[in-house]
């Protein structure tokens, strides 16, 4: 049985979580899972690419938690969205990857408080799961893009194969930046 290649089904959206200049000519979209060891290992590479190409690259993060493999991944994605509602998505993103082995509800609450979100609002939103639908929409977009697991990357809408490591992604971004100069 032949599998379909990954094709970005959901182009960049205004509500996406972004880092980098809005006018950047290159966009790297990551579908990730805060509880995944592979995603945690990829995070420093993505940070390095942002630092290496600060005017050329914009990074978008979308959720693709593996509910079957990672018991807390969906809840962690919801926590990131609750932090995003208070302007703290990237702070929570970094905290979740720093503490990927401890993502239970009490841990998530502690990280939210540490990054400075309103704990009462955070608790109410998490109790009501008001961001679960957004997380599910990201998962649906990943599946419609024919992704099997996180991390998964698209550069300029083209899937980047990182199965053998992040080296190919680093090279692809460097080559794309060189073409843009």
Per run of 10 residues, the mean pLDDT along the chain (length 181 residues) is 74 96 95 97 96 97 95 98 98 97 97 98 98 98 95 95 90 93 75
Would you say residue 6 lies in a domain?
no
Would you say residue 61 lies in a domain?
yes
Contact 17, 60 (CB under 8 A): yes
Would you say residue 10 lies in a domain?
no
What whole-number distance in Å separates Cα of residue 85 and Cα of residue 7? 29
- The count of other CB atoms within 10 Å of the CB of residue 3 is 7
Would you say residue 9 lies in a domain?
no
Would you say residue 7 lies in a domain?
no
DSSP strand E in the chain: where? 17-19, 26-32, 57-63, 152-155, 158-160
CA geometry: angle 120, 39, 43, nearest 5 deg: 80
What whole-number distance in Å separates Cα of residue 38 and Cα of residue 18? 21
Contact 91, 83 (CB under 8 A): yes
Would you say residue 85 lies in a domain?
yes
pLDDT of residue 18: 97
pTM (2 d.p.): 0.94
> Counting Cβ atoms within 10 Å, is residue 11 exposed (0-12), middle (13-18) or buried (19+)?
exposed
Residue-number span of the structural domain to which 114 is assigned: 17-180
Q: Give exposure, 146-159, as e/b (b: 16+ Cβ within 10 Å).
A: ebeebbbbbbeeeb
Q: From 73, 93, 179, 50, select the one nearest 135 (Cα to Cα).
A: 73
- The count of other CB atoms within 10 Å of the CB of residue 121 is 13
Would you say residue 5 lies in a domain?
no
Contact 122, 89 (CB under 8 A): no
Would you say residue 27 lies in a domain?
yes
CATH number at residue 142: 3.40.30.10
Domain count of the fold of the chain: 1
């Amino acid at each position: 049985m032949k599998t379909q290649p990954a094709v970005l089904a959901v182009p960049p959206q205004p509500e996406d979580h972004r880092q980098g200049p809005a006018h950047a000519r290159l966009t790297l979209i990551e579908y990730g899972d805060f509880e995944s060891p592979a995603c945690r290992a990829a995070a420093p590479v993505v940070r390095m690419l942002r630092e290496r190409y600060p005017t050329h690259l914009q990074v978008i993060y979308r959720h693709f938690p593996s509910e079957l493999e990672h018991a807390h991944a969906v809840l962690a994605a919801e926590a990131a969205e609750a932090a995003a509602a208070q302007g703290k998505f990237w702070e929570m993103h970094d905290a979740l990857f720093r503490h990927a082995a401890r993502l239970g509800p009490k841990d998530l609450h502690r990280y939210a408080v540490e990054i400075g979100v309103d704990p009462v609002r955070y608790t109410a939103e998490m109790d009501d799961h008001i961001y679960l639908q957004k997380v599910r929409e990201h998962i649906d977009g990943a599946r419609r893009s024919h992704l099997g697991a996180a991390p998964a990357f698209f550069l300029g809408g083209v899937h980047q194969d990182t199965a053998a490591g992040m080296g190919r992604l680093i090279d692809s971004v460097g080559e794309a930046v060189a073409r843009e100069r």
